[in-house]
Amino acid sequence: MTDREGARWRRGRTALVAFVVVTALAAGGVWFSQASQRASAVDAAPKTSAVQGVKSDGAVKSGARPTGGLPGVRDCGIGEPEIRPQVITLTCADAGMVATGITWERYDADEAEGHGVVQVEKTAAGVGTDAGYRATFRLYGAKEVDGARAFTGLEVTYEGSTPLGDTTEMYNLA
C-alpha cells in the first residue's frame, strides 16, 4: 500500500467515525428533546379525581373509610378508595388513558356499571391529536384492601371505535 492509498484509507475511516459520532449525537438530541414532550404530555393528560378536585357525593374523605359496605376505587392502586369516582386512571405509568365523566347507573357491594369517555393523550394513541372514546365501565372483584373495601378490577367496553383496537379491555385496580 502506498502512502497515498494509506492516507485515503485514513480519511475514509475518519469520515466514517465522524458520521457515526454525528448520527449518535443527533439521535441523542432527538431523544432528549422528546423527553420534555413526554413530561408535558403527562402534565396535559387528564388527571385523577384526587388531583382535579373532582369528587362525587359518595367520595371518601381523607382518613375515612367507605360507609354502608360499598367498595370504592383506589386510583392506580393507591390512596383511600373513592366511592362512585368520576375519573379513573387506566394507564398509571403515564396517565395517557383516563376514564372520565363517569356516571354510575348501578353501584352496589358486588359490582358497579356506568358510562363515560376514555380520554387518550396523543402519544398514548400513537397519533397527533388527543382523542375520546365512549365506553361502558364495569367494576368487579370487591374485597378488603389495606383495611377498606375496594374494587380490584375494571372492564372497559367501547361503544364504537377503540384506542387500541380491542372492543373490551380489562384493568387491575388493586
How far apart CA 172 and CA 45 sit, in angstroms, is: 20
Q: CA of 95: how far to CAs of 35, 88, 91, 98, 119, in Å?
A: 16, 10, 5, 7, 10
For residue 82, list its beta bridge partners. Answer: 73
Q: CA of 72: how far to CAs of 30, 50, 118, in Å?
A: 42, 13, 19
Q: Taking the C-alpha atoms of 169, 139, 55 and 158 in order, what is their torsion angle to the nearest 10 degrees?
A: 30
Q: First-to-last CA distance in the chain?
A: 70
Q: What is the pTM of this model?
A: 0.60
How far apart CA 88 and CA 73 sit, in angstroms, is: 8
pLDDT at 40: 41
Strands (E), 35-160: 88-89, 97-107, 112-120, 131-140, 143-145, 148-150, 153-158
pLDDT by residue, tens only, the chain of 174 residues? 566 676 776 777 787 777 767 776 665 554 444 444 433 434 444 444 444 444 444 444 444 444 578 999 998 888 899 999 999 999 988 888 899 999 999 999 999 999 999 998 866 555 556 788 999 999 999 999 988 999 999 999 998 877 777 789 999 997
pLDDT at 10: 76
pLDDT at 166: 78
pLDDT at 151: 95
pLDDT at 56: 42
